[in-house]
Amino acid sequence: METVKYLLSEDRLPQAWYNIQADLPQPAPPVLHPGTGQPIGPDDLAPLFPLALIQQEVTTERFVAIPDEVQRVYRQWRPSPLYRARRLELALDTPARIYYKYEGVSPAGSHKPNTAVPQAYYNKIEGTKRLVTETGAGQWGSSLAMACAFFGLECKIFMVRVSYDQKPYRRALMEVYGAQVTPSPSQETNAGRAILTGHPDSPGSLGIAISEAVEIAAGDPETKYSLGSVLNHVLLHQTVIGLEAIEQMQLADDEPDIIIGATGGGSNFAGLAFPYLGRKLRGEDDVRVVAVEPAACPSLTRGRYAYDFGDTGRLTPLVKMHTLGSGFIPPGIHAGGLRYHGMAPLVSHLLELGQIEAVAIQQLDTFAAGIQFARAEGIVPAPESNHAVAGAIREALRCKEEGVSRAILFNLSGHGHFDMQAYTDYIAGRLVNYDYPAEEIAMALAGLPAVS
Amino acid sequence: METVKYLLSEDRLPQAWYNIQADLPQPAPPVLHPGTGQPIGPDDLAPLFPLALIQQEVTTERFVAIPDEVQRVYRQWRPSPLYRARRLELALDTPARIYYKYEGVSPAGSHKPNTAVPQAYYNKIEGTKRLVTETGAGQWGSSLAMACAFFGLECKIFMVRVSYDQKPYRRALMEVYGAQVTPSPSQETNAGRAILTGHPDSPGSLGIAISEAVEIAAGDPETKYSLGSVLNHVLLHQTVIGLEAIEQMQLADDEPDIIIGATGGGSNFAGLAFPYLGRKLRGEDDVRVVAVEPAACPSLTRGRYAYDFGDTGRLTPLVKMHTLGSGFIPPGIHAGGLRYHGMAPLVSHLLELGQIEAVAIQQLDTFAAGIQFARAEGIVPAPESNHAVAGAIREALRCKEEGVSRAILFNLSGHGHFDMQAYTDYIAGRLVNYDYPAEEIAMALAGLPAVS
């Protein structure tokens, strides 16, 4: 029994990204200025982003052409392989057909370069000298650092202090690519200094690091800001995943009944799911789409659909999304890429429209699934990706119980070679689950801004 | 400027491995029994290896068919990509055309599964229940653990104590794949107990771990031994790399003038080089072939071509090879996979025949090369692979000096995502070079066994 690979030739690399905003029955609510409560315009975003990305944020064109220069970089590892997990099916003794799209083949080991490369490209051609961003565990920071090295941009990364100290390997990767990595909170920004004054030993948070990065970009005309998830243009760039998958499933002569992705900010999930959801919105498909989030950060399943800030410092515009409140600090689970209080507005909107489902899975279940997957398929998934693996295994076991064969397609967003401490801790029995008291979530939600 | 990928379709996966023993002008010297000094026969090896591998060790057939079951597993990541490093060429401002074959796409991240998979397969069909091996840094151990998981074999790995303690991530990878990992020296073998009696705090060595693994296999009819480099059948399995590369260079409409590989035990080097060397031995090609070894373990450039043991415990047969003496303990450089006192007999023989060249490069030069490569190409090489990168950059700069364009092809044997501590140490200025006094090497060589 073997793992079967479906590979597209390079000339089948998509020429355009798919924009789900073209197919929404009603548009997602507008992004609001935190001071005026009015919808923001391009001028509000111009200090932070190049014009091309601001346009992509709001366009309703169905397809956005991928620049030739970006396609040439993509082709180093794209089209990425799609596999049928025959050995996993055998191990589960399931009638399900399990497929996965594997994004760990990028040089940085995850899907993040799919957006890091075009973001660096558009900044380069619009004259940006330096990009600044934030990173938690480091998957996004390392991908942006690599893309900046390719296009000759400087790169500055605010890395959450606790990760900077505890995860020196991702930091080393960013430095290998030539980026400057600063622990956050830092003395370099007002936002950082304000925190350090009150809490000199602050471990930092993604929200604080965003505030620092945005402040630096806003204060220097040659520096722009870059974000690795949540925003519309980021999700747009990731749709290259799903567009390829649609062609590869045709090669496999099969069609997915269920599509599964892990959700933190929403970008890898959207990358696989949106091209399929577009067909569903147009009445061409009736696929079930399932977002799997960590029980320790359950924005889709236990959060509120409301306007909230993107950062804890409350410097960003207000976006309507499923949120646990920008003051919510999720526990230190190993799937660091999923530790975000909010969710991409487009993913949130689709949940409200009833187009997708959401499920939360506990940490221990995700690692058990990842190890079962690794023994069958050889690839050790990133802790974030283990959420998708666990979701797929659940659906495959349901097929077995019901005696039906369904095609399950999930996104394996990255490999876990940088995350072996997590597996070490799991094997040693040091990991735990998290069961939130409802009151704790209610308290965090009570701090939401008064906008509707 | 972009990195150009040359990908073979799956139906171009080689159907047979190439055996350089068919094309040698004179055979390599025989392996000798340490007790009798006479050539060993199949019966001497039968307790350790399945018959198919013993036959592959001595066959002079030019091609050995790759079993269908092995081809099906290979196809998960093979044919591996061959790239032209256009961005690196630009960074070096060289007229050279630089190509690299990338083996880091395997699930374990290196070339080692190319032999782990067939070794597990042949053992499985001959009824072996368990494989036992040794590992230093863990690249080999993790690959064999994965292959055993695929074929339903138990796997026991003696891991050098100092690596077991200092490199918990590779150990975690082996355990994720279901292997049992034991620090060596251990109380489980006579060889281990003998060491521990004299040195209770022994950090272990590859030589000691080999002794322990061999002892376990020899004492249990259901357990066989497995080795990740040096032996003829291991090098044979790796030739799938060079066979693919020959076809891919045709796709690129180019021919290598220089082939470069890093050498420790010799398997990744042989994998790329042997199919080209076969053409050279048959008079069809005049390619230069360069083996790059660490200055800290210079078996080819400063060792002696002599009969020696494969392990420090002196339990193995005697093989004629370039050796620093089985008592030689190389310093703790980060390219752990290259820390072996000897060299594959076939690689040694080809050096004696004048078919290949050898060069030693210092550790700091290899890391500088690896970082330059990562910024240009995105892929962070394993420290072992950095030796090949450094060798290729030297040749490319020589092209620049001489104003000539040559095609350079090297083997990028694995990614460095498990080795970021090495990069962290390099960036922090904590790595050093090693310059051996000639007397120290002479002293180690004085201990060679009296066989010629």
Count CB-CB contacts under 10 A for residue A383: 28
- The shortest CB-CB distance from A76 to any of B149, B175, B378 is to B378
Q: What is the pLDDT of residue B7?
A: 87
Question: What are the DSSP calls for A21-46, one per residue?
Answer: GGG-SSPPPPPB-TTT-SBP-HHHHT
- The tens digit of pLDDT for each residue in B216-259 reads 999 999 999 999 999 999 999 999 999 999 999 999 999 999 99
pLDDT recorded at residue B308? 95
Interface of B with A in 311-350 (CB under 8 A): none
In this structure, how many other beta carbons lie within 10 angstroms of the beta carbon of residue A317? 18
Confidence (pLDDT) at A402: 98
What distance separates the 2 farthest-apart alpha carbons in chain B? 61
Q: How far apart are the C-alpha atoms of B150 and A375, rounded to whole Å?
A: 7
Map residue A313 onto helix, strand or coil: coil
Structure tokens at B447: 């201990």
Predicted confidence band of residue B355 (pLDDT cuts 50, 70, 90): very high
In a domain, B201, yes or no: no
Q: Are the CB atoms for A334 and A431 separated by under 8 Å? A: yes
Cα atoms in the Cβ-side hemisphere of radius 13 Å centred on A104: 28
B452 — pLDDT class (breaks 50, 70, 90)? low
Contact B169 A420 (CB under 8 A): yes
Under an 8 A CB cutoff, do A168 and B424 touch?
A: yes
Please state whether beta strands A154-160 and A304-309 pair in parallel, antiparallel, or not at all (unpaired): unpaired
For residue A72, the chain B residue with the least C-alpha distance is B2
Report the Cα A112 to chain-centroid distance in Å. Answer: 8
Whether B79 and chain A come into contact, CB under 8 Å, resolves to: no
- Examine residue A176 and state whether it is found in any structural domain, yes or no: no
pLDDT category at A157 given cuts 50, 70, 90 is: very high
Cβ contacts of B412 on chain A, cutoff 8 Å: none
Tell me the H-state helices in A378-449. 383-402, 420-427, 438-445
Q: Could you say which of A75, A107, A378 has the minimum Cβ distance to residue B379?
A: A107
Residue with tokens 């070096």: B92
Portion 225-284 of B in contact with A at CB < 8 A: none
- B288-325 tens-digit pLDDT: 999 999 999 999 999 999 999 998 878 889 999 999 99
CB contact, 8 Å: B374 with chain A? yes
Whether A55 and A41 have beta carbons less than 8 Å apart is answered as no
Question: Quick check: B239 and B209 in contact, CB under 8 A?
Answer: no
CA angle at A340 for the pair A336 and A343, rounded to the nearest 5°? 130
Q: Is residue A269 part of a domain?
A: yes
Predicted local confidence at residue B137, as pLDDT: 80
Asked whether residue A101 is assigned to any structural domain, the reply reads: yes
Considering the domain boundaries, does residue B311 fall inside one? yes
Nearest CB partner across the interface for B420, out of A75, A172, A378: A172
pLDDT at residue number B436: 86
In a domain, A24, yes or no: no
Residue A160: φ, ψ to 5°: -50, 125
A107: preceding bond cis by omega (within 30 degrees): no
Per-residue model confidence (pLDDT) at position A436: 86
**What does the pLDDT read at residue A312?**
80
Please answer whether residues B88 and B373 qualify as being in contact, where contact means their C-beta atoms are separated by less than 8 angstroms. Answer: yes
Domain that holds residue B317: 78-109+233-445
Residue B1's pLDDT band, with cuts at 50, 70 and 90, is low
A149 and chain B in contact, CB less than 8 A: yes
Q: Which residue does chain B place closest to A7, by CA atoms? A: B9
Chain B contact set for A169 (CB, 8 A): 420-421, 424
The whole-number pLDDT of residue B315 equals 83
| Cα distance between residue A424 and residue A434, in whole Å | 19
Give the rounded distance of the alpha carbon of A404 from its chain centre: 32
Residue with tokens 């090896």: B45
Domain contains B9: no
Number of domains in chain B: 1
CATH of the domain at B363: 3.40.50.1100
In chain A, the residue whose alpha carbon lies closest to the alpha carbon of B153 is A375
pLDDT score of A1: 62
CB contact under 8 A, A423 and B178: no
Three-state secondary structure along chain B? CCCEEECCCHHHCCCEEECHHHCCCCCCCCCECCCCCCECCHHHHCCCCCHHHHHHHHCCCCEEECCHHHHHHHCCCCCCCEEECHHHHHHHCCCCEEEEEECCCCCCCECCHHHHHHHHHHHHHCCCCEEEEEECCCHHHHHHHHHHHHHCCEEEEEEEHHHHHHCHHHHHHHHHCCCEEEEECCCCCHHHHHHHHHCCCCCCCHHHHHHHHHHHHHCCCCEEECCCCCCHHHHHHHCHHHHHHHHHHHHCCCCCCEEEEECCCCHHHHHHHHHHHHHHHCCCCCCEEEEEEECCCCHHHHCEEEEEECCCCCCCCEEEEEECCCCCCCCCCCCHHHCCCCCCHHHHHHHHCCCCEEEEECHHHHHHHHHHHHHHHCCCECHHHHHHHHHHHHHHHHHHHHCCCCEEEEEECEECCCCHHHHHHHHCCCCCCCCCCHHHHHHHHHCCCCCC
Average pLDDT, chain A: 95
Find where tokens 């236990």 sit. Answer: A302
pLDDT at res. A452: 65
pLDDT in tens, A398-450: 999 999 999 999 999 999 999 999 999 999 999 999 888 899 899 989 989 98
Single pTM value for the model: 0.96
**Residue B331 clears pLDDT 80, i.e. is over it:** no
Interface test with A, best of B7, B88, B417 (most A CBs within 10 A): B417
Q: Report CA dihedral (B322, B309, B215, B212) to the nearest 10 degrees.
A: -60
pLDDT in the model for residue B152: 97
If you measure CA to CA, which chain B residue comes closest to A146? B378
Q: Distance from CA of residue A296 to its chain's centroid?
A: 16
In a domain, A320, yes or no: yes
Minimal C-alpha gap between A426 and chain B (Å): 10
- Tokens 């959801």 found at: A277
